Amino acid sequence: METLNQLNFARVYTLGRISQVNEASWDIQPTGFNNTIRWNVGHIYVNAEILTQRAIPTYGIVHPEWVTLFVPGTKPNDWIVEPPTSDELVSALKEQAERIKDVLDDQLANILIESMSIGKLHEMKTVEALVQFLVWHEGVHAGIIHALNRATSD
């Protein structure tokens, strides 16, 4: 249960960082950054959906149309469709936190059908390990959102 509390903490922190972003900054990509605030927010959302489905294969991804915009390796310069608005992304993040917590609540000790590895650094074999990675991942991108906001502020 503490792992899910950490997931909630990460989401509250992320939403706090996003609330400080000026609307005009969402799509600015400063020199030295690989993506924008919009991409990072969408990436947090999509990654949580994908990893939840990996943990619970019957889980249906909400907003599957966003996956091709925000998975690793994508970038706003390559988008050929209109991305979700900042309001849509923030609303989705708020709604997602409770939904994922409900889905994963009694599943943390479960063994993954297929373990997940990040290079040779770390192998995750349980749902809880996957959620712990998700917490770390969200924190990294919340930090990038904060840095991008500072880099794009007047």
Q: Can you say whether the dihedral through the CA atoms of 29, 33, 39, 45 is positive or negative?
A: negative
Q: Which of 122, 118, 139, 126 is nearest to 54 (CA)?
A: 126
**Domains in the chain: boundaries:** 2-152
Topology of the domain covering 2-152: Four Helix Bundle (Hemerythrin (Met), subunit A) (1.20.120)
Q: pLDDT value at position 71? A: 96
What is the per-residue pLDDT across 72-105, written as a single tens digit (0 to 9) for each?
999 999 999 999 999 999 999 999 999 999 999 9
